A = this chain, B = another copy of it.
Amino acid sequence: MAAWGKRLAGVRGVLLDISGVLYDGGEDGGAPIRGSVEAVARLKQSRLKVRFCTNESQKSRQELVGLLRRQGFDISEGEVTAPAPATSLILKERGLRPHLLVHDGVRSEFGQIDTSNPNCVVIADAGEGFSYQNMNKAFRVLMELEKPVLISLGKGRYYKETSGLMLDVGAYMKALEYACGIEAEVVGKPSPEYFQSALKEMGVEAHEQAIMIGDDIVGDVGGAQRCGMRALQVRTGKFRPSDEQHPEVKADGYVDNLAEAVDLLLQHATK
């Protein structure tokens, strides 16, 4: 534990993953992870800056924040970096008209976007919406484009709900990439642009100043470290013991949960 203190010194801003760190999702809305409501409150009372950086793409930012507030979290929409609003901006900037393969819960984020005569496909965690028919429709749209553009909201392999592990959008992104012989553009972690946009909103530099706390060894920890940030993995959410022997990614620290991470940060960060 002695080494820990050094690694956290100088942190000024904290990026928090949401699912698996704040709460475990589920059909009933899920449940907060023990100690996380208080941990967020303590962080926000400290001198550290805090921002939430999620790959949640089944819910609109409004719906997600509402759910978390009902669970007791101190969080507002303006504090959340989420892939759907980020993608919506990109579509507008580039004049792209998407065919949407997304969950109904997030469709409102694309309310202002022209979806007629599509010239790209946007894929997000559609859950049950990943039927063969819907996947085949997205595939056919891509195959009919001269230069197929596939935008994926994150590329997670799986996540954990109260009922167990769930396939995430990354698996379906890979399916379309392979079938069409193309490479998707990822909006979300671990894309460096995505982390940078969250850091910019927080006003903190990646190097020396920022730390990511997440449950995904590759998407959260590896992605943040490639941006020059430090990163902790929590042993909640989709964490699996084998993550601590991951062949490519080593977190700056492993903690039992967000509460322990915050204990350590408040003790060591600003020293």
Which chain A residues have a beta carbon within 8 Å of chain B's beta carbons?
Answer: 126-133, 135-136, 139-140, 143, 157-158, 164-168, 170-172, 174-181
Contacts and interface: CB of A to CB of B under 8 A. Distances in A.
Given A157-B179, A157-B181, A132 B133 contact: no
17 contacts: A127-B132, A128-B132, A129-B132, A130-B131, A130-B132, A130-B135, A135-B171, A136-B166, A139-B167, A139-B171, A140-B164, A143-B165, A157-B178, A157-B180, A171-B176, A172-B175, A174-B175
A185 B133 CA distance: 26
A154 to B, nearest CB: 13
Nearest to A247: B181
A130 B126 CA distance: 14
A135 B132 CA distance: 10
Nearest to A181: B157
B139 A165 contact: yes
B175 A179 contact: no
A70 B86 CA distance: 55
Contacts of A174: 174-175, 177-178
A179 B180 CA distance: 19
Contacts of A130: 131-132, 135
Contacts of A179: 157-158, 167-168, 170-171
A135 B158 CA distance: 12
Contacts of A166: 136
A124 to B, nearest CB: 13
A140 B128 contact: no
A136 B181 contact: no
Nearest to A127: B132
A214 to B, nearest CB: 18
Q: Which of A135, A165, A171, A181 has the most CB of B within 10 A?
A: A171
Contacts of A131: 128, 130-132
Q: List the 6 closest A-B pairs by CB distance, nearest first.
A: A171-B175, A174-B178, A171-B179, A175-B175, A130-B132, A157-B179
